[in-house]
Amino acid sequence: MAVAISTLDKIKDIVQNRHEYAKEWKARTGRKVLGVFCTYVPEEIAYAAGMLPVRLLGSHEPQDVTEPYLFGMFCPFSRDVLAQGLKGRYDYLNGIAASHTCMHINQSFESWSLHLPVERSLFVSMPSHVQSPRARPFLTAQLELFKTQLEEWTGKTITDEDLDRAIDVYNTNRRLMWDVYNLRKSANPPITGLETMYVALAEQMMDKEEHNQLLRELLEELKTRKLDRNPGARLMIVGSEDDDTEFLKMVENVGATIVVDDHCTGTRYFWNEVECIGDNRLESLANRYLDRSPCPNRDWPARRRFPLIGQMVKDFGVQGVIIIQQKFCDPHEADIPALTAFLKKGGIPTLFLEFDVTVPVGQFRIRVEAFLETIGQEDLF
Amino acid sequence: MITAGIDMGAKTIKVVILKDGQVVGRSNVFSGFETREAADEAMKAACNQAGVTLADIGKIVATGAGRKDAPYATDDITEVGADAKGIFSIYPSVRTLIDVGAEEGRGIKCSADGKVVDFVVNEKCAAGAGSFTESMARALEVSLEDFGKISMTSDKLIPMNAQCAVFAESEVVSLIHAKTPKADIAKSVHDAIASRIISMVRRIGIEKDVALIGGVAFNVGFVDALKRGLETDVIIPEYPDFVGALGAALSAVEKHG
Amino acid sequence: MSKEKKLYNSKPFDSWKLAKELRANHYREIAESRTDAGKKLLIGGGTESMIGLPAGLGDYVFFGGEPYAASFSAGDPQGAIECMEATESFGLARDLCSYFRNYVGSLLLDRYYFGGPFPKADFYLQTHFCDTHAKWYQLVSEKVGVPYHSTDLLPYRWDETEDGKKQKVEYLTGQLLDAIDWMVKTTGRVYEDELLIQAVKNEFRCTSLWAQCAVLNQNVPAAMDEKSMYSFYILAVLIRHRPEAVRFYEILLDEMKDRVANHIAAVPTERFRLLHDSQPPWYALHIFRYLEKFGVACVGANYEYGLSGGWDYKEGEYLRPAVPPQDRGVPLKTREDACRALAQWWLDYHLLARGIRFSGPGKNNLIVQTIKDWNCDGLMIHLNRGCEGLATGQMEVRLALTEAGIPVMTYEGNVGDPREFDEPRTLARIDAFMESVGLDIIED
């Protein structure tokens, strides 16, 4: 019988009380909280400015407040995020920042700027042609602009030391996250997919320094942790934004373990570290964001995303992939036929599920169970 | 002066007969596929109640989805226009009018002198409030009337997809399999439908007084969910499903006069 | 605007025949490029920016996916539905861009709307004009098995700083030069810079001329209506890099001036003017004829006016046709000059691109300005489920107009997928809107 892990409880508590955490941080430090709309926002620079970047997420509740601002054909996630703002749940934010990702979430950012009180709404024009060498000087210059905007806002210069310190904290955080993830390569992972999701979500809501501390404690505890459960089939989730803990809980209750992922609020967030080249911190940061595991929106003309997924499948012993498609998300949708074919070629069966902010867990359960049966059959041969 | 309004709705045909500004006859008949016959029946019943004959009626105006094919009518007015006129004659203080029928939901912003300032109609994603309620009632094997009533006995808040009826139906099936009490499912469904309607109406802004008309106004569960969602009281006229036909009859007076 | 009945003189456009011919020639050229008789380089991609960039390679024709899909859905809605269904079987979601789906469906079914097999390009050259564009041709080039390259068009935001603008011009210019290098490597051809310079000059001239035609439509009564405009704007979309397109717009401009001078109206009963927003539902263009029954003229849209760029806009000050660089003494002597001028032209003057990637107050203000300048009484918004880019920010536009007291109506539909359009409902909404602005159908 596994002993209740206090670190995981702490982490889950923070995720479930994210607003309280941020408000308490703000009261304690007297500094600014910056709401960010996507993992392509270069958080290190905001962190170097002394701010707490928090990833804005939805609450998975049906809502009726966004329709005057955002047409229903745009993805439910972007509307859920805007709804949180409109309902005042994020009223402690000092400002918001977005990085060009997609037309859906951009609108949430624009509407938020238009209708909700924020000190600043900042935008980083993140290039989509990340495979082009031209993107590097362009993004570096954009980061310079962003840095200047933050300095103007806080009234303080962001020094090289500030940046170094922020980069160091973030790099450490990424390293520790991979340490946790790598434990899931084992035949009997000491941490479930659901628990890991909480860890990854907490990462995006917390001061990274504090999260690093929790990660170290967690890693210590995981050394001797043995889960009293049959891991079952080893699955990977691939898709758009996904923080649906109810869904993961269901999957891991019917004979499977999620061992790794490729999605917006999973590995794509902490994929790679900043490698410092000489003195140019901003150029180093630009490289990091251009070279990270790409959003499909940025994965062209060549496909760089699939080989990364293939590598994770191999490294983590993945037996099946659940594709989590946020309804209406064009860039991810465009990849589906090619992704399914790629995985099939590699002998990996896939289950496609379309997600909204609430999902029919019962119906999904039936499909997941059927999927697990087919994986079981594969094993016979 | 006697006029009539005939509302050729998707599901039912309603007739209102006006004599010197007073309603003297009403009827409501299922349209079915043979709308001509249903319209005849509706007109006959309303005339009987009013104690008039067809020949006594000075002008007949049609409204509703099938208004262009309405027998008897020599003119037509849109549902939006008819609703606004109708409600203005009963409750001139109404500024936000919500009309929820079988297939369509509408929000109408009315001015102080009863004109349509703005309007919104449900988009594809949120269509079919009334018929969705009916099919969910059937799924739970309760009558439509009971469906609304039992929803009010639950105090649970089970979230249900409020944008897409297809998704929501899927979730209802899930809940049934999970042996969720009928009352809780009913409440969830009503909350979801009300949420969809409120979402739509927010586009024109919610300004008091708010009124609700259309067939779904008879559903006490929906009305309760709507009031809770809007956080305001909602006026429901005595004959909520006749307001369109009334508006058409009033417009007949204007056009005739 | 007075709602009393009017009757202006009206007559069809002389230019319409030439427009039709040029368009037919273009699609024939595409088909013939795949046969021995007319063989030439066929390049596929989106028409929103780089159609002239391959000019230095010599003889080629550019097969633009969006106008193709629009033609298909306008001319054969049932066939378009079959394409969508084929695409869905292939595994692409129904809510994806309907131009994308129509095109991929044509490829899967090997059916070219203009007759014969579906023309497969020698390579695909795309611009990531919206967040789906580059993915479209990635998929197509994989299916066809030919090389693929794309650039990123990251338009100015409405509140862009001068520094930000400079950075974007550099980024885009660099990508254009790289794209040329890639094309040379892929085809093995020699690249003649002079041909590129000519092509970009044509593009600047073409789009500026069309903008001048559009400005003339500010006149009351409007000389052009939606349907004629769709026949005219499309040439800039398809072949703005070619001299025949320049010639066409010179002819059209003359005819427009003549019509305006002689008060020749597109809609003889014009008494109320609407601006449209987004592409129309191509298979249901008769809704504009329906509006005419009320004496309503749809006098334009940012869509057809601005799809190929060419507008000089300073918020709160002016919205006018952009002046081509060759008329301003901008050097156009080298390949880099041409690429830089092109990058600058798109970024400075492609307002539609800004509205696609960035919405917010900038887009709202532009639409309000357009309504004012074109003497419009209201806006008709097509809530277009088939094109996210053009639907960006439409609800905020609606809100802004309602707050400004400008009548606005919305109708839901899909630019290319007829299954998502409900005609009776749309006409009912038009009726309700007409009622609310006090317009009846004009009895003959």
Segment A47-70, tens digit of pLDDT: 999 999 999 999 999 889 999 999
DSSP letters, C222-255, are -S--HHHHHHHHHHHHHHTTSHHHHHHHHHHHHH
Alpha helices in C63-132 (DSSP H): 65-75, 77-90, 98-109
Q: What is the CATH number of the domain that holds A83?
A: 3.40.50.11890
Q: What residues pair up with C301 in beta bridges, in sequence order?
A: C276
The domain limits of chain B are 1-91+240-257, 93-236
Cβ–Cβ below 8 Å for B65 and C435? no
Cβ–Cβ below 8 Å for B81 and C436? yes
Query: Residue A68 is part of which domain span?
Result: 6-128
Which of B163, B177, B179 to mutate against chain A (most A CBs within 10 Å)? B163
Residue A256 counted as domain residue: no
Residue C442 counted as domain residue: no
Task: Compare CB distances from A103 to C92, C383, C389 and report the shortest one's residue.
Answer: C389
Q: What is the pLDDT of residues B11-54, one digit of tens each?
A: 899 999 999 999 999 999 998 888 889 999 999 999 999 999 99
Residues of C with Cβ-Cβ distance to B104 under 8 angstroms: 425
E strand residue ranges, chain A: 33-36, 52-55, 95-99, 120-124, 233-239, 256-262, 320-326, 350-355
Do you know the residue count of chain B? 257
Task: Compare CB distances from B80 to C383, C402, C435 and report the shortest one's residue.
Answer: C435
CA distance B199 to chain A (A): 4
> Among residues A327, A330, A101, which one has the least CA distance to residue C133?
A330
Residues of A with Cβ-Cβ distance to C131 under 8 angstroms: 101-103, 128, 297, 330-331
Residues of A with Cβ-Cβ distance to C399 under 8 angstroms: 68-69
Task: Compare CB distances from C383 to B65, B77, B123 and report the shortest one's residue.
Answer: B123
A347 touches chain B (CB under 8 A): no
Query: Residue C37 is part of which domain span?
Result: 9-436
Residues of A with Cβ-Cβ distance to C361 under 8 angstroms: 114
- Give the span between the Cα atoms of C174 and C196, in whole angstroms: 16
Q: Are C131 and C123 in contact, with CB atoms under 8 Å apart?
A: no
Residue A17 counted as domain residue: yes
Residue A27 counted as domain residue: yes
Task: Compare CB distances from B171 to A66, A76, A360 and report the shortest one's residue.
Answer: A360
Residue A1 counted as domain residue: no
pLDDT recorded at residue B256: 75
A253 touches chain B (CB under 8 A): no
C432 touches chain B (CB under 8 A): yes
Cβ–Cβ below 8 Å for B173 and A362? yes
For B:81-140, CB contacts with A below 8 A are 123, 125-126
Distance of CA A327 to CAs A78, A378, C216, C246, C283, Å? 11, 30, 43, 43, 26
> Among residues A57, A55, A103, which one has the least CA distance to residue A269?
A55
In B, minimum Cα distance to A71 occurs at B123
pLDDT recorded at residue A147: 98
Cβ–Cβ below 8 Å for A68 and B164? no
Contacting subunits of A (3+ beta carbon pairs below 8 A)? B, C
Which of A61, A66, A67, A246 to mutate against chain B (most B CBs within 10 Å)? A67
Q: What is the pLDDT of residues A123-139, one digit of tens each?
A: 999 999 999 999 999 99
pLDDT recorded at residue B128: 67
C164 touches chain A (CB under 8 A): yes
CA distance A96 to chain B (A): 25
Share of chain A above pLDDT 70, in %: 97
Task: With H, G, I as helix, E, B as strand and everything else as coil, classify residue C433.
Answer: helix
Mean pLDDT check: name the lowest of B1-5, B157-161, B185-189, C343-347: B157-161
Of the pLDDT bands very low, low, confident and very high (cuts 50, 70, 90), residue B127 is low
Task: Compare CB distances from A334 to C96, C150, C152 and report the shortest one's residue.
Answer: C96
Burial of B241 (0-12, 13-18, 19+ CB in 10 A): buried
Residues of B with Cβ-Cβ distance to C386 under 8 angstroms: none
Residues of A with Cβ-Cβ distance to B199 under 8 angstroms: 63-67
Sites in chain C below the pLDDT cut of 50: none
Cβ–Cβ below 8 Å for C432 and B79? yes
Of the pLDDT bands very low, low, confident and very high (cuts 50, 70, 90), residue B138 is confident
> Among residues C306, C67, C310, C46, which one has the least CA distance to residue C153?
C46
Residue C303 counted as domain residue: yes
**Sequence-separated (6 or more) residues with CB below 8 Å from residue B90:** B237, B243, B246
Task: Compare CB distances from A333 to C96, C178, C393 and report the shortest one's residue.
Answer: C96
pLDDT recorded at residue A1: 47
pLDDT recorded at residue B162: 65
Signed CA dihedral, A65, A67, A69, A74: sign only: positive
The values of phi and psi at residue C45, to 5°, are: 165, -165
Of the pLDDT bands very low, low, confident and very high (cuts 50, 70, 90), residue A381 is very low
CA distance C352 to chain B (A): 25
Query: Over 50: is that where the pLDDT of A380 sits?
Result: no
- Give the span between the Cα atoms of A49 and A298, in whole angstroms: 28
Do you know the residue count of chain A? 381
CA distance A296 to chain B (A): 26
For chain A, the average pLDDT equals: 95
Share of chain A above pLDDT 90, in %: 90
Task: Give the type of residue at B206.
Answer: I
Q: What is the pLDDT of residues A167-183, one digit of tens each?
A: 999 999 999 999 999 99
Q: What is the pLDDT of residues B156-180, one digit of tens each?
A: 888 787 667 777 787 888 888 889 9
Residue A29 counted as domain residue: yes
A275 touches chain B (CB under 8 A): no
Task: Compare CB distances from C132 to A114, A330, A338 and report the shortest one's residue.
Answer: A330
Residue C235 counted as domain residue: yes
C392 touches chain A (CB under 8 A): yes
Domain count, chain A: 1
For C:100-129, CB contacts with A below 8 A are 100, 128
Residue C273 counted as domain residue: yes
Cβ–Cβ below 8 Å for C420 and B124? yes
Task: With H, G, I as helix, E, B as strand and everything else as coil, classify residue C47.
Answer: coil
Contacting subunits of B (3+ beta carbon pairs below 8 A)? A, C
Which of A138, A336, A353 to mutate against chain C (most C CBs within 10 Å)? A138
B119 touches chain C (CB under 8 A): yes
Q: What is the pLDDT of residues C196-244, one digit of tens each?
A: 999 999 999 999 999 999 999 999 999 999 889 999 999 999 999 999 9
C-alpha R_g of chain C: 21
In C, minimum Cα distance to A143 occurs at C164
- Assigned CATH topology for domain B1-91+240-257: Nucleotidyltransferase; domain 5 (3.30.420)
Residue A24 counted as domain residue: yes
Identical topology for domains B1-91+240-257 and B93-236: yes
Cβ–Cβ below 8 Å for B173 and A63? no
C385 touches chain A (CB under 8 A): yes
Cβ–Cβ below 8 Å for B173 and A356? no
Alpha helices in A206-244 (DSSP H): 208-223
CA distance B123 to chain C (A): 7
- Give the span between the Cα atoms of A83 and A94, in whole angstroms: 18
In a 13 Å sphere around the CA of C74, the CA atoms on its Cβ side amount to 15
Burial of C211 (0-12, 13-18, 19+ CB in 10 A): buried
- Assigned CATH topology for domain B93-236: Nucleotidyltransferase; domain 5 (3.30.420)
Task: Compare CB distances from B78 to C385, C395, C432 and report the shortest one's residue.
Answer: C432
Residue C1 counted as domain residue: no
Residue C65 counted as domain residue: yes
**What's CA A156's distance to the chain center, in Å?**
30
How would you classify the pairing of strands A350-355 and A256-262?
Answer: unpaired
Residue C366 counted as domain residue: yes
Cβ–Cβ below 8 Å for B115 and C385? no
CA distance A70 to chain C (A): 6
- Give the span between the Cα atoms of B62 and B75, in whole angstroms: 6
Task: Compare CB distances from B159 to A62, A71, A73 and report the shortest one's residue.
Answer: A62
Mean pLDDT of A310-333: 95
Residue whose token pair is 């994986």: A375
Q: Residue A310 is encoded by which pair of tokens?
A: 């293939």
